[in-house]
Amino acid sequence: MNLEELFNQNNIIELSFFNFRNAITAAYFANRDLEIRRVNKNFKKFFPILGNVSNAYFPDVLEQLGLPGKQIDEFVTGLNENGSILIPQIEIEIEGNIRVYSLLSAQTYDESFSYLNGVQGQFVDRTVEMQLRKEKEDLIEQKMQDQLIIEEKSKQLEMLANRLAKYLSPQIYESIFSNTHSDLGTHQRKNLTVFFSDIARFTDLSDTLEPEKLARIINNYLSEMTTIAIECGGTIDKFIGDAVMVFFGDPNSDGETEDALKCVEMAVRMRQRVNELSKYWNR
């Protein structure tokens, strides 16, 4: 008499399935023909739409759960060829909600009890895990999008700064785009040294020259005067035709006396440079 004849078959199957009976996964045991013999409480809890699955053909159960035929075929083929199969992600709609499971199944073999030879497997609920992963991926995607927006805004600010640099005095430009001045929002009274100059008899000159040559002279003149003003520490306020307005004492000041001396030095240098340029202009 062999062992199978000494023990009750149902009791042996129940005993072999004991470890899965109270598992947090949805466990099942099927015979070699993939007919379900046992499921635990969580199997019924996970899939209430199935009802009683005793003796049901497990691939039919998978089909009832909504698995596509391709996954079911992979399940059967994997068991037959490898003795085990892992389907890492199965999406099942339960009561209007999509839940995600992984299914691990393996063939069982016992020399003493042939009725234990079959397939044992379990569904692992990974819904929360996948939701957290999705949230993480969404956060990463949002972060990447935010980074792209920041980079685009930075490029726009850089382009704006470069354009403003062409029209603003270096001192004013520096005070706007640096953090060295914390009082930009406040107002205070300052004594400035203001310089104003224009080209003598410019109106007569403009009447006698061709527009192209006049434009070259004005551009050359303003460029040279700007260079001298910056080198002397002046802040260029504006250009009005041939007129140049420069002030000293803001945003940086060396004191009223020193500011005035620098303004005089600038005026002398400008006059000397105009005398040099006039020889070139008269050609």
**What pLDDT digit, counting tens, does each position of 114-128 carry?**
657 788 899 999 999
What pLDDT was estimated at residue 206? 78
Write the single-letter amino acid at 163.
R
pLDDT > 90: percent of the chain: 34
The CA distance from 129 to 78, in Å, is 25
pTM (2 decimals)?
A: 0.49
**What pLDDT digit, counting tens, does each position of 134-152 carry?**
899 999 999 999 999 999 9
Range with lowest mean pLDDT among 68-82, 100-114, 243-257: 100-114
Work out the pLDDT band at 12, boundaries 50, 70, 90. Answer: low
Residue 168 confidence (pLDDT) above 70: no
What pLDDT was estimated at residue 95? 78
What pLDDT was estimated at residue 72? 93
Q: Return the axis-axis angle of helices 256-281 and 211-231, rounded to nearest 10°.
A: 150
Domains, the chain, with CATH or none: 3-129 (3.30.450.20), 170-281 (3.30.70.1230)
**What pLDDT digit, counting tens, does each position of 84-115 carry?**
999 999 888 887 888 999 999 998 887 766 65
What pLDDT was estimated at residue 6? 47
Q: What distances in angstroms separate CA 150 from CA 136, 147, 158, 220, 251, one per listed residue?
A: 21, 5, 12, 40, 30
